[in-house]
Amino acid sequence: MTEATGGIDFEDEGSGVVKKFMFVNRKAPYGTIYALESLEVVLISAAFDQDVSLVFMDDGIYQIVKGQHTKAIDVKNFSPTYRALEGYDIEKLYVDRDSLEQRGLTEDDLLVDVQVLDAAGMAKLMSEQDVVLSF
């Protein structure tokens, strides 16, 4: 382990420390690769048994909108993965209310069950996290 980490002694991943990890998704699912690669980190963090939350705000809301068809742009539609998160015990999904309303969307338009929070609620939730990764 020491050699692999460049001489730095990290404890084993099984150290039992559980931190609150929040992934803030702010970008549309296609157009840039942020959303897809963010999802890859989310799945890995679940494998480390961390306390994971996902937030969707701004254009990130579109990541979990129903009925995505990407054939015409020749990009993989990865939206079914969000429905599989439950299987990884990732069940804390939050959506920013303003972002949802500004885009003319409601919870019924979303692929997964979410909790809708106003800005104050979101700020409180973020302040309670140990690690916030924004993509």
Binding site for other proteins (CB under 8 A): 4-8, 10-11, 13, 15, 17, 19, 21, 33-34, 37, 40-41, 44-45, 47-48, 50, 130-135
Measured from the CB atom, is 2 or 120 closer to other proteins?
A: 2
Q: Under a CB-based contact definition with an 8 Å cutoff, are residues 89 and 68 in contact?
A: no
Measured from the CB atom, is 82 or 110 closer to other proteins?
A: 82
Closest CB 104 distance from other proteins, rounded Å? 25
What totals of helices (H) and strands (E) does the chain contain, helices first? 4, 5
Which of 45, 35, 47 lies closest to 129, judged by CA? 45
- Mention every residue, 6+ apart, whose C-beta is less than 8 A from residue 34: 25, 27, 135
Measured from the CB atom, is 37 or 128 closer to other proteins?
A: 37
Closest CB 127 distance from other proteins, rounded Å? 14
